[in-house]
Every structure is written in C-alpha cells, then in structure tokens.
Amino acid sequence: MRWGLFGLVSCVLVAISFFLLGTNFERYMNRVEPVSLPVVSPHARALHGASFVADLHADSSLSGRDLLKRSKVGHVDLPRLVEGGVGLQFFTAPTKVPFSSDVNATAADAPDLLTLMDFAQRGPFRGLSPLERGMQQGARIHRAVEESEGALVLIRTRSDLDALVAAHEGNPSGRKPVGALLGLEGAHALTNPETDLARFYTAGVRMIGLTHFFDNAYAGSAHGIEKGGLTRLGRELVVGMVERGIMIDLAHLSPAAIDDVLAMIEVPTVVSHTGVKGTCDNPRNLSDRHVRAIAAGGGVIGVGYWVTAVCGTAPEDIVAAMVHIVDLVGDEHVSLGSDYDGSTTVAFDTSQLPVLTQAMLDAKLSDRSIARILGGNIVRVMRTILPPG
C-alpha cells in the first residue's frame, strides 16, 4: 500500500466533512463561480440556436439529483440543457476516483473517494464494484429517458442520431428533444474485456475511456504511476470496441497508450474532455504532436471548461484552447467537452452556453467553424463509428 498514516487520517477527515455536509456536498463539489461573461449578441444567439450542439462529457449520472427537474446545484439537468440549446449530452459514468487524484501521479490503490462520499450520503454505491456502479449510473439515465415523455432520448445507433439531428433541423423554433449518450470513464469497470464489454454495450454504452486517474489492466493513465502503453487486454478491448461501434475515448490516457491506440486502428477517436499544452501545459493535456495525430485519424478533441484544462474558467480561456487546435489542424477536430458535474468549478452552467458561442465570435472564428465546434464535428465522428441501427 502506498498510503500511510497521513493518507488514512486525511480520508477520515474527508469522510467526516462529507457526513456533516450531507446531501449538500454537491453544492461544494460542482460549483459555478461566475467571472465576467460576454454579452450575447443577437447574432451569437441566432447562430447558437441554429447549430446542433453536443457536449462530450458530463458526470451528472453520478449525482443523486432528479435530472428532469431544474436544480440550484450542479451544472446539468434537462431544463438547463434545453435552455442552453444543447441537442446531445454525453453522460459519462465515473466508477472509481482515488482520493489523491493527483494530475502528476495517482496510485490505483489509494482510497476511493466515491466510497467515502457514498458512505457520507448513505447512498446506493456502497459495496458495489466499479462494474455495478457503471451499470447503476446507466440505469439512472434510462429511467430519466423513460420518464421524460420524449423530451430526453437515448442515442445508441446512427439511426437514433439522424432522427435527433433531423428533429432539431426541422423544428427551429419549437421544443426539441435532447439526446443522451452513455459513456464509461475508465475501463477498470470491465473485469473481463469480452463479456463485460458486451454487457455495457447492451446497456447502451457507446463511448469508453480506457483509463481514468490511474493505471489499470488495459492501459497506462496520464496520471498513473507507470504511465505505460496498451496491455494485451487493452488491445483486445480496443478491437472489441471497434467491432461493436463503441467510441474510444483517449481522455486521461498516457502518451504511450495514445500512440498505441492510434497505431492499431483506422477509425476516428475522441478525447471527451481535455485541454492542450499549447495554452495550458500540464500532464493532463494534449501535446501538439498528439493533437496532430488524433486529427490525422479524423478524431475530435473536446475542450474542457475547468482550470486544469484551460488554465482559467472564463469563456476566452476555453476558446483560446479551441483556437490553438484550429490553428494546428483546422476546425474539423474541436468540440465541447465541459466535464460538467465532475467535481469541477466552472464560470457558467449548461443553461448559459451561448456565452461560449459569443466568445468564439469574439475570437474571430467563422460561423461555419463555430457550428462545427458546437456539434457538427462530433456528429460526423458518430456517424462513422456508431452501429447503423
């Protein structure tokens, strides 16, 4: 065990703090701390409304909130998605988060923060394996879809996606459904790369990140101890994902593992939430070399909204990373990757998303480029990868 007395005492103190906070813990974990936001012009609002908008990463399925009701805490729920003009939200399920979560080096055997949080909240994850946690979070989204009366729809196939996009294009002023795509943050939730992958596929999962904050049996993490490449099991998993039409998420993956994935496949990849070293240099973010390699394979990079990703939270900080990618590889490889509800502090929630469109206009990006970044690029990738239906 890498954790000594100090780590144990820290965990106890955190558990006590969460217990005292009770159900209000999310108020402190997923915050909005406003900065000066740009005034949204009529042109920006019209462009945003006419674009299909997709966000590649939110951890909202981890929350115990009713996602069909507007909340005063957190960043995402259905009413705020509608208000922000979002057409498709990826709901990614974290299943194990080491207490340290150090961006430089995180041990896989560190105490699990989700277990501590769940103990404090008397929540439903206590005693569950990562696989069971992933399944339970997916079931939450399924229930929300079923209870939404068509306002929230699950996206499993190209046919589902095409119907969703058509509903938005054919209904410019009316109420439009919001799509939900299930993802998994970290392949450590799969104890068997074949049988468990089939289970998650049947449950509707269509994107899997190979690692989260720590090295696992499939690959090295950018924040792990060894930071190695793909293992034999990892290569088997990648093949299985490609065969089934599950998007490969390179977020949190070590540089060596990114190289291994890109060398063995011919389909586009996704980085669901990240920044770039060109504007915010840390181990979490992509090098220019990897930005070019991902783009060469037709992939899309989702830019995050929090400090570690873009060295700030203001819309202009987010757009600076987007512009860096556009300058390197063009406007077809950038998307939105908020990391909403992922224990992040941001400057605006999803209901205020038009401020980001305004910031892109202020940075002199063209209307065409902005429409691609808002959602057109990921729609292209999804139409390449998802099963036909």
Q: Looking at the predicted structure, is the pLDDT value of residue 3 above 50? A: no
Q: Cα–Cα distances in Å, from 171 out to 20, 45, 143, 208, 301?
A: 47, 16, 26, 32, 28
Q: Cα–Cα distances in Å, from 174 out to 84, 155, 158?
A: 14, 21, 23
Q: Looking at the predicted structure, is the pLDDT value of residue 326 above 50? A: yes
- Residues 148-159: pLDDT tens digits? 999 999 999 999
User: How far is it, in rounded angstroms, from Cα 284 to Cα 252?
Assistant: 7
User: How far is it, in rounded angstroms, from Cα 184 to Cα 206?
Assistant: 8
Contact call for residues 68 and 78 (beta carbons, < 8 A):
yes
- The pLDDT, as a whole number, for residue 102 is 77
In this predicted structure, which of 5-9, 225-229, 299-303 has the lowest mean pLDDT? Answer: 5-9
Task: For residue 111, count other CB atoms closer than 10 A to its CB.
Answer: 20
Q: Hey, what domains does the chain have and what are their CATH numbers?
A: 5-385 (3.20.20.140)
Query: Cα–chain-centroid distance for residue 388?
Result: 23
- The pLDDT, as a whole number, for residue 114 is 79
Q: What is the mean pLDDT of residues 308-327?
A: 98
> Which residues are within 8 A (CB) of 257 and not within 5 positions of it... i.e. 6 or more apart?
210, 211, 219, 220, 228, 229, 230, 234
User: How far is it, in rounded angstroms, from Cα 114 to Cα 245?
Assistant: 29
Q: What is the mean pLDDT of residues 148-175?
A: 92
Phi, psi values for residue 55, rounded to 5°: -120, 125
Contact call for residues 106 and 224 (beta carbons, < 8 A):
yes
- The pLDDT, as a whole number, for residue 108 is 85
> Which residues are within 8 A (CB) of 102 and not within 5 positions of it... i.e. 6 or more apart?
223
User: How far is it, in rounded angstroms, from Cα 145 to Cα 38?
Assistant: 34
Band the pLDDT of 1: cuts 50, 70, 90: very low
Q: Looking at the predicted structure, is the pLDDT value of residue 184 above 90? A: yes
| Residue showing tokens 């955190």 | 14
Of 363, 326, 262, 357, the closest CA to residue 47 belongs to 357
Q: What is the mean pLDDT of residues 8-32?
A: 62
- The CA-to-CA distance between both ends of the chain, in Å, stands at 47
- The pLDDT, as a whole number, for residue 134 is 96
Q: Cα–Cα distances in Å, from 324 out to 9, 252, 333, 366?
A: 43, 20, 11, 15
Task: Give the residue, 110 or 237, on which the prediction is more confident.
Answer: 237
Band the pLDDT of 13: cuts 50, 70, 90: low
Amino acid identity, residue 112?
D
- Residues 192-232: pLDDT tens digits? 988 999 999 999 999 999 999 999 999 999 999 999 999 99
Structure tokens, 98: 């080491």
- The pLDDT, as a whole number, for residue 113 is 76
